[in-house]
Structure 1
């Protein structure tokens, strides 16, 4: 039996589970809110074209409007000034969209401190228990934040000082982007950076370092609690938007049971 036939058989009989890491995309999907004078993205909207009526008696379809970085989405290098000469989302090699993934679970820390930042020592501790970060793979950073995804205010968790959501310290972001062989970073929050990252040096270090290194980001993931610490295979499928800085994506994980 071929390798692909074995995979299909395993999916069919439950030996391999397909876990959907994608948040539903609708008008209620939380979106990033930047302060003035910065421009903001368009939220997701559907506009009906016809629904089994005089506009089209046998079919239902819609137009939709949305920003590239709405909902579960993929960040391409060109999204950030440090990666401005890098790939747009249509130029990402397909082979890089299928890769091993590991899950680092900081949900207990984030539950008591919404501004929790992952440090290099936390990653080293994880490696001591689970082995090295995957060569050419994804680090999926679990914080439990997907539980807030049904409520824009709770998801952004902002007050007069700005958003308060967990993330990664500048030192750790640089180290992960430049000193490891990861292909990308996936998170449950609205962006790959912490809510307070506008005040970091550099600002938004995950964007700056990862995209500047030609690596990728995935945001607003869910169901990371259903994945093992290591051993999953991640499939990311952004739209190949020519010139696009990113795209809403369907993100799946294959998990051997």
Structure 2
């Protein structure tokens, strides 16, 4: 039996499950709002073209309009100034979009402090317990924020001081870019950086370091509580947009059926 045949057999038998880590995409999907004078992306929308009527009697279809960085989406290197001249979303190798999932659970810390920042020590403590992060892995940070994804006010959690959502320290962002053998980082929040990242030096440090190092980010993930700390495989599937700085993505995980 080939390995692929074995995978299909395991899927059919329920020995391997597919977990959807993607948030639904609609005109109510929460998105980042930048303050003036910066420009914002358009929200996702559907425009009906036909619906089993005169414009299309046997079919229904729509035009869609959306920014690249809406909902569950991938950030490509060219999205950030430090990745200028790097890969657009269509140029990312498929092998970099599939890899081991390493789930770092900081739900307790994020529940106690919405501005909680993952530091290098948290990742190293994970490695002490579960072993070294494998090559080409995706570090998925579980904060519990996915539970708020259908509530824009709670999800964005903004006040006059800015947004209050978990993220990474500057030191951790640099370490993930320069040392960790990962392809990317995935988060449950609206962006890969903390809500207060504009106050850091450099601003938006995970964007700054990660994308500048030819590594990638995925945001607005769901169902990370259904993944084990190790052992799952993640598949990130963005649209291959020529020149695209990112794309809405369907993100799936293959999980041992014994888990959960």
Normalised by the length of structure 1, the TM-score is 0.99
CA distance in 1, matches of 2:24, 2:136: 28
CA distance in 2, matches of 1:201, 1:67: 27
Q: Judge conservation of contact 1:21–1:251 (CA < 8 Å) in 2.
A: yes
CA distance in 1, matches of 2:48, 2:214: 38
Q: CA deviation at 1:206?
A: 0.5
Q: CA deviation at 1:113?
A: 0.3
Specify the alignment match of 1:165 in structure 2.
165
Aligned runs of 1:10-25 on 2, under 5 Å?
Answer: 10-25=10-25
Q: Judge conservation of contact 2:117–2:169 (CA < 8 Å) in 1.
A: yes
Q: Secondary structure at the match of 2:182?
A: coil
CA distance in 2, matches of 1:134, 1:49: 47
Q: Secondary structure at the match of 1:33?
A: coil
CA distance in 2, matches of 1:208, 1:132: 24
Specify the alignment match of 1:97 in structure 2.
97
Q: Secondary structure at the match of 2:231?
A: strand
CA distance in 2, matches of 1:208, 1:12: 42
Q: Which stretches in structure 2 are left out of the alignment for 5+ residues?
A: none
Specify the alignment match of 1:134 in structure 2.
134
CA distance in 2, matches of 1:87, 1:124: 29
- After superposing on structure 2, the runs of 4+ consecutive aligned residues of structure 1 that deviate more than 3 Å are none
Q: Which stretches in structure 1 are left out of the alignment for 5+ residues?
A: none
Specify the alignment match of 2:149 in structure 1.
149
CA distance in 1, matches of 2:149, 2:251: 16
Q: Judge conservation of contact 1:148–1:155 (CA < 8 Å) in 2.
A: yes
Specify the alignment match of 1:244 in structure 2.
244
CA distance in 2, matches of 1:176, 1:16: 29
**Deviation per residue, 1:76-117 (Å, 9 max, x gap):** 000000001110000011111111111000011101100000
Q: CA deviation at 1:176?
A: 1.1
Q: Secondary structure at the match of 1:230?
A: coil
Q: Judge conservation of contact 2:48–2:62 (CA < 8 Å) in 1.
A: yes
Aligned runs of 1:68-107 on 2, under 5 Å?
Answer: 68-107=68-107
Specify the alignment match of 1:59 in structure 2.
59
Normalised by the length of structure 2, the TM-score is 0.98
Q: Secondary structure at the match of 1:183?
A: strand
Q: CA deviation at 1:133?
A: 1.2
CA distance in 2, matches of 1:168, 1:133: 17
Q: Judge conservation of contact 1:101–1:134 (CA < 8 Å) in 2.
A: no
Q: CA deviation at 1:122?
A: 1.1
Number of aligned residue pairs: give it.
257
